Structure 1
Amino acid sequence: MIYCGIDWAERTHDVALVNDSGELLAKRHVTDDAAGYRLLLDLLIEYGDTEEKPIPVAIETSRGLLVAVLRTGKRKVFAINPMAAARYRDRHSVSRKKSDPGDALVLANILRTDMHAHRPLPDDSDLGRAIAVLARAQQDATWNRQQISNQLRSLLREYYPAALEAFAPWTNGLCRPEARELLKTAPTPTRAAKLSRTQIQAALKRSGRKRGIEAEADRFREIFRTGSAHHPLLVEEALGKQMLALLVQLEAACTAADDLAIAVEEAFPRHPDAEVLLSFPGLGIQLAARILAEIGDDHTRFADARGLKAYAGASPITRASGKKSSITRRWVKNDRLNHAGYFWAFASLRPSAGANAHYRRRRETGDWHAAAQRNLFNRQCHEVNAAATESRACLQWVVMTMKSGIPW
């Protein structure tokens, strides 16, 4: 048996091959381009790599063209966490020396000694991986939009509180097109106070608003003309220019989030697992796509529900030593899946009587809201795993149990 370890870098990669006894058979330094990938594949073939029995590979990343090349065929690729690789390095040397060829050798030895303790990259379909790219990008765009919105809100509080008061009745008001158009029209409170009713109505129409324009224009005009403190004119104009610069970033983030959401809505329904995920109470297209992106469509990825719960960070972790024992939340987890799971648990409380009853029971036993939500997501992970591995009849029973008030 031959094992391969690759120390990944931005421009070049170090490769090491070892056999069952730990003997170093070969080491290479390959570039991160097509020629380097070809050299790597030729090296693997030279040492017995075949389509039926490929050489397993350990690498410290799960993304990139190199990983895509290695995943062709039946080859198992193991993405080793850099923290775990650093701990393995200490097993071979106490002097704390480090080199890229040495790291490649450590990765190869990880597979030689503990391959059973590490999970290979899941065998997801191309459509599943494409949905993962879109769902994660949409999630990143949503987080970026909220971050820029918070920066804009903080700036407006310094010199333009009337704008925040005007947009307060709207959910996520600064991200609304009406708010962005009004801020472009009047970037300072002095200019906002001079706006006529006609100008405000025109700005609302340019943003795409169709109803309630007259009433909103009157409300905005009254708020903008209310007396308030002002910075000196030059300082106020400078703050207005800073706000406009942030507004450009916010508009780009809003457009990116909306465009990626449309792309997810087009791609996700084509997946075979879409009907299954959307049948769960509380899951819409965007949230279901995020869960599919992190779990994948390889139904053999998790041996049981416990693995999925630990991966999602829904199950607690126990630390015991002698007479001391503590149970705490799990910090090492898939943050994206955990984030989506929190929203799923919250969204399922209204449409699912079973989920609501479980949440209420946890609150009555003394759990805080977040702990009860986490426990509910723990149960939902169990049902998702059952849906992925059991029959269609079992899935229907699971969904009916969640929708009813039957205790789980």
Structure 2
Amino acid sequence: MANAAGEADVIVVGAGPAGSTTAAYLAQHGLSVTLLEKSHFPREKVCGDGLTPRATRQLIRLGIDTSEEAGWLRNKGLRVYAGRKEPFHFEWPDLRDFPNYGLVRPRSDFDNLLAQHAVGLGAELVQGANVTEPVLDERSGRIVGVTTKTGETYRAPLVVAADGNSARLAISMGVNKRDDRPMGVAVRTYYKTPRHDDDYLESWLELWDGEPDKSTLMPGYGWVFGMGDGTSNVGLGVLNTSKGFGKTDYRALLKRWLDHTPEEWGFRDENRVGTVQGAALPMGFNRQPHYGRGLLLVGDSGGMVSPFNGEGIAYAMEAAEYAAAAIADAHARGIGTKEAERALQGYPVQLRAELGGFYRLGNIFVHLIGNPTIMKLCTRYGLPRKTLMQLVMKLLANLTDAHEGDWMDRLINMLAKAAPSA
């Protein structure tokens, strides 16, 4: 027999960036929120120590202090290796819509900070609450609560699934994965390195599974994020558009790639800190619908990782803001009414309008770079052309002004609008 653990206006399952941001915005809207986290803070997550200006903007919108005094490490752009020995430096652009700096912070600390921010705004955080199944209304089939592994029941007329790539709640409600959307796998670890104090994020667009130019080129990318504490976060992401996807030992691939980096950088086994960890990257809206029967999907549970660059945190936080606004609107109209349902349906409509075309372009992009010949042509002939690279980097990072930007902004915005929604 389950114990009733409480009622709220909204239950949010998962206190990662998606869930904590949703809870924070809901609390700001004056709603009572129960935020359920299966583990206990601080806890590790695989990706996301490096944040682009897109994610930085969301932190600022939440009211979080992003100064260096508050423990953030700032970066001014992206250093891109591919096709030649010298890297290409892409400075974060000066835009009206985005700040011109990115950030670095360990995920264990970052997630805790976001969860505590939500608590400070009035959300109730319950740690160690591992949600196992939804509670459904027998007549309507709507979700009206959740049950945890230890037998507690939490009730609310609306539930947000922000439970990551496992998407356990969505699956239990019959919202299944779409196989026509890309998936990625990311692995990462930390190394003691003299390069830890870097004011650029580093991206390796050519990922060789052995000696550069003499082995197989994998469709994916590597990264190095200096943490400012004597270590760097080093990892790689590989896409399922590759023939070897699923059959590759990604930890071994990470080692082979790093074995061909300069010795003095320190990316060798003896300097490794902690284990190599991996996670799936669900991309391009691979789980839909994002709203149905009282359940809203936010972040990885709804496949919101960008196919272009594997970025998930910025988009999870944007979706969280849209979801909270739709829920607040629905509450004002009266939960259970047709008018409230219309407000809730506005959430997936807004997601498609804001990100659908961009994700469709990303889905096409990952299929193109899945072909090693195209990937080689792109890096060999594209990288030396500075203007072209500037355009490509803006597209990959999705950093444009929505109105009255330069010709690059207008071109990228036009392509995203012209593409059908993902």
TM more than 0.5:
no
Question: Which of 1 and 2 has higher RCO (CA within 8 Å, sep 6+)?
Answer: 2
More helix by share: 1
Give the structure with the larger strand fraction: 2
TM-score by length of 2: 0.21
